[in-house]
A and B are shown apart, each in its own frame.
Chain A
Amino acid sequence: MKRQIPLIIVLTLGIFFFIQFFVPSQISTNIYQTTLQWTIVISAFAIVLAIGSLVNHHMLKIKRRKPHWWNSIVTLVALVVMALLGIFGRVKGLEPLGNLFHTLFLYVQAPMDSAMFAILAFYMASAAYRAFRARSQEAALLLISGFIVMLGVIPFGSMLWSKIPDIAEWIMMVPNMAAKRGILFGIGLGMTATSLKIILGIERSWLGGGGK
């Protein structure tokens, strides 16, 4: 029983919204819109659990004096401060809080965000250096096409040989696209099959116990 109800829900909703795609009529579009809104409302409650887990996670670290436990204090304080500033910053008369919220975002959170993202440039270099070795046939192909495309995007490529940018674009447009399209077919079928399995209750690991 505990398992039956969720399965029935998935089945009915699944079939309904599959059909809905083909039915343009008034009520079908309305139902569609409302359900979209409902999913938002529902997911809003999962956030409570998520935050709870995070806080709990760090509380434990602090309680048990785990290594670097003081960093957990940083996290919790930052979380609470940011949340309070943001929520009360909107209240009339408390605008200064709101401004501080924006400053913290702009000068503390956003910079770290971009810095973390910028680190990728270094990793690209190290990954390319490490992995682009002609160890096997496949690796060689990876190496060569990557090599040409890199030359293609920079002016030195065309200085070397005027055709290189065209070749680079050709690689992107023809073999690259063919491969991606092939993969896309697989993904399309895989996705559809997975959705089917969930709707029909064949794939039940989300219920736990693999359906047993």
Chain B
Amino acid sequence: MLKFLAKFGKLDRRIVFALLLVSILVPLLFNIKPRFYVDSATKGIYDYVDQIKPNGRPLLVSFDYDPQVAAELDPMARAVLRHCFARGVKVVGMSLAPQGDAIGEGIITQVAREYDKKLGRDYCYFGFRPGGTIIMLQLGVNVKKALPLDYYQTPYDSLPMMKNIHNYDDIAMVLSLAGSTYPVSWMIFAGTKFGVKIGAGQTAVMAPDNYPFLQTKQFIGQLGGMKGGAEYEQLIVDAGYYNTPDVASKAMGAIAYSHLLIILLIILGNIGYFISKKIEQKK
């Protein structure tokens, strides 16, 4: 018996891999959804977006992420855009990540269609702008310089909603969605330098880094990973801005069970470890 338990101390990594796969596939295939609760960082963004004046200063959404993290960030992007469009808040979209270019276009047009919003009047999309921090800084000096042409090669001046938008003072908030440190750069180069409100949408891995900045209010809020997305979906559904929960909420089932598995593995691992230590001591 003890010897058997001791084995759990040293499972082959491949077995661990296999178990994880099962723990994810089963809930996905049988579609199990749990309930979850909203944390304050998510609420921070939601509440701020919820008080932006309709048809007032636009929200700048920067799709600073690559396909590999799209799974986590797409849902939150959709949720926030739905929130804005449902409330009649204008949106300016752009991307600092080369591969974010197409991602942003896909999402923003899809959601805009849901609420039949007009390009150029209710929202704009400028696509990928090379230079990262360079662009963040230019936006503070001259938005038109930083975004001369939109994604569809329309010149800045022929976009009705962009007139009277000169710099960060004319933007309600910058929401940077990224799997990297882009939001922090936004915070430093746009927030610290020009004093615009910054919101972060981060992969769950990056999110914890930003707690210091959340507490100092350098970020007004943050959406962390699939959970953040799911929470925002829940919020807009509860508020009646959107009808049904989306992909993020679905994925939470698989997430729950895989976590459970890892927790069990850790427990078993420690049991095994201590038993084998005892056995050695006997010898």
Contact = CB atoms under 8 A, between A and B. Distances in A.
Chains A and B in contact, CB within 8 Å: yes
B273 A129 contact: no
B69 A117 contact: yes
Contact of A150 (B131, B215, B259): B259
Chain A interface main SS type: helix
Nearest to A135: B273
A29 B141 contact: yes
Interface in B9-33: 11, 13, 16-17, 19-21, 24
A128 B67 CA distance: 26
A173 B211 CA distance: 6
Given A117-B69, A125-B20, A169-B39, A33 B138 contact: yes
Nearest to A134: B270
The 8 closest A-B pairs by CB, nearest first: A117-B68, A155-B34, A154-B256, A177-B211, A126-B13, A110-B67, A129-B265, A154-B259
Contacts, number: 109
Contacts of B209: 180
Contacts of B37: 158, 165
A40 B17 contact: no
Contacts of B70: 114
Interface of B: 11, 13, 16-17, 19-21, 24, 34-37, 39-40, 66-71, 99, 130-131, 134, 137-138, 141, 208-209, 211-212, 215, 227, 255-256, 258-263, 265-266, 269-270, 273-274
Contacts of B71: 114
A172 B227 CA distance: 15
Nearest to B134: A36
Nearest to B140: A29
A116 interface: yes
A153 B13 contact: no
A18 interface: no
Most chain B beta-carbon contacts within 10 A, residue among A114, A126, A158, A176? A126
B279 to A, nearest CB: 16
Nearest to B21: A122
A154 B258 CA distance: 10
A132 B36 contact: no
Interface of A: 29, 32-33, 36-37, 40, 110, 113-114, 116-117, 121-122, 124-126, 128-130, 132-135, 143, 147, 150-151, 153-156, 158, 165, 169, 172-173, 176-177, 180-181, 184
B20 A155 contact: no
Given A154-B259, A180-B209, A147 B69 contact: no
A58 B23 CA distance: 41
Contacts of B21: 122
Nearest to A171: B208
B267 to A, nearest CB: 9
A132 B215 contact: no
Contacts of B263: 147, 150-151
A122 B20 contact: yes
Contacts of B67: 110, 113-114
8 contacts: A113-B67, A125-B258, A130-B13, A132-B270, A153-B227, A154-B260, A158-B37, A169-B40
Nearest to B179: A117
A113 B131 contact: no
Contacts of B35: 155
A180 B37 CA distance: 25
